Amino acid sequence: MASVFAHEPVLLDETIRHLHLHPGSVVIDGTIGGGGHARHILGKLGSDGTLIGMDVDGDALRATKRRLEDAGVLDGRVHLVHTSFRRVGDALASLGIQKVDAVLLDLGVSSHQLDTRERGFRFAEAETHPAPLDMRMDPSSGQSAAELLHRASEAEIEGWLREYGELPGARRLARAIADSRDEHPLETNADLLRVIRETRVGRGRQHNPATLVFQALRIAVNDELSALREGLDAAVAALRPGGRLVVIAYHSLEDRIVKRAFRAGENPCTCPPRTPVCICGGVVTLRVITRRPIRPSQDEVGRNPRARSARLRAAERVALEERAA
C-alpha cells in the first residue's frame, strides 16, 4: 500500500535563509518531492513571485499539486514540470523565463519513495513482503534495477558496488549476482538480499552491507551522480548574478561532487602554479557561502531521523565579468 505523500523538509530554516528569497523572486525547486520546502518557499515569494517545481517522479508532482491545492497556495505563481533538474535550461525555455533568483536541489529519494514498498528502494520487510526490484525515481522511463542487474556485465556490477556503494567485497558479490542470475533472475528485493547474505560481504562493518548495495544500485539505476554534475552546471547557468544555489546532499559521494563544483566555480583557474598571469581563461561563477557544510541539529535528527546524513552547501552566482585572479 502506498503511504500518504508526506516529506518532512530537511534543514528547512537553513534552506530558506540561504535561498535569500524576497517578494517577486523567481525560484526553482529542482526536487520538489512532497512539496515540503516548496510550501515554505511560496510563503516568501509574495503575490508576484514564481516557483518552478521540478521532479522526475510523476507521482510526486501529482501529489504535490494536490497538497498545494489543499493548502490554497496553488496559483499562477506555480509551474510544475515533470523533468530532471539536468534539464533546468529546457524547462526555463519552455516557460519563457531567462534567469532565476534561486535554485534548491534537495537530493536523493523522498520519504514517500522509500516508504512505498512496491517501488523496491528498501530491503526492510523484504523477506516477509518481497517487492519488485525497481528503484526508478521515474518509473515511466529507463531500466529497473532488476533489468539492469540482468543485462549488466559482471564488471559493470562490480564497478557500481565499488564506486557507488564503497562496498568491501564488491568483486565477490558481483560474481555471486552473475552466478545467481544464470539460474534464476533477481526479480525482487528479497532475491537480492538472499545473495548478499549468502555472500557474506561487508560483515562486521559499520554499515549494513545491504544498505550499501541498495544505495549503489539506486545510484546506478537513476544515474544520480551524472545527473547531479549536469544539474549543478545547469543551475549555475540559470542563476542571475547574486542568485543563490542551495544543495542538500545525503551521502559523501554527492557531497564531494557539490563541494568540488562549488570550489571550481569559485576558483576555476587551472594554470600551473606560479603562472604570473592567468592564461587558462577560467571564469569565476560562484562565491561559496558555506565554508563547511551545515548539518542538522540533534533536535532535528531526533524529530526526523532521515535528516541524519544531510549536508547543506550554498553558493552565490557572481557577475559574469569576474575573471579568475
Ligand X SMILES: C[S@@+](CC[C@H](N)C(=O)[O-])C[C@H]1O[C@@H](n2cnc3c(N)ncnc32)[C@H](O)[C@@H]1O
- Of the pair 56, 312, the CB lying nearest ligand X is at 56
| DSSP letter (8 states) at residue 27 | E
Residues 23 and 130 sit within 8 Å (Cβ to Cβ):
no
- Of the pair 54, 193, the CB lying nearest ligand X is at 54
Q: Which residue has the cell 523538509?
A: 9
Question: Shortest distance, CB of residue 112 to ligand X, whole angstroms?
Answer: 7
C-alpha cell at 192: 537480492
Is residue 14 a contact point for ligand X (CB under 6 A)?
Answer: no
Is residue 56 a contact point for ligand X (CB under 6 A)?
Answer: yes
| DSSP letter (8 states) at residue 294 | B
| CA-based nearest residue to 63, from 5, 137, 138, 106 | 5
- Of the pair 209, 231, the CB lying nearest ligand X is at 231
Q: Tell me if residue 29 falls in helix, strand or coil.
A: strand
Task: Name the one range near ligand X by CB under 6 A: 79-87, 116-124, 164-172, 195-203.
Answer: 79-87
- Of the pair 35, 130, the CB lying nearest ligand X is at 35
Binding string, residues 243-272; x marks residues near ligand X by CB under 6 A: ------------------------------
51, 60, 174, 257: residue in contact with ligand X (rule CB under 6 A): 60
Q: What whole-number distance in Å separates Cα of residue 83 and Cα of residue 314?
A: 23
14, 101, 106, 316: residue in contact with ligand X (rule CB under 6 A): 106
Is residue 53 a contact point for ligand X (CB under 6 A)?
Answer: no
| Integer Rg of the chain from CA | 21
Question: Shortest distance, CB of residue 82 to ligand X, whole angstroms?
Answer: 9
Cα separations (Å) of 52 from 28, 30, 86, 140, 273? 5, 8, 14, 21, 42
- Of the pair 34, 120, the CB lying nearest ligand X is at 34
Is residue 165 a contact point for ligand X (CB under 6 A)?
Answer: no
- Of the pair 60, 176, the CB lying nearest ligand X is at 60
- Dihedral sign (CA 39, 318, 231, 82): positive
Cα separations (Å) of 173 from 143, 193, 202, 213, 227? 21, 11, 10, 9, 26
Residues 36 and 7 sit within 8 Å (Cβ to Cβ):
yes
Is residue 202 a contact point for ligand X (CB under 6 A)?
Answer: no
Question: Shortest distance, CB of residue 321 to ligand X, whole angstroms?
Answer: 31
Is residue 169 a contact point for ligand X (CB under 6 A)?
Answer: no
Binding site for ligand X (CB under 6 A): 7, 9, 30-31, 33-37, 54-57, 60, 84-86, 106, 108-110, 137, 227, 231
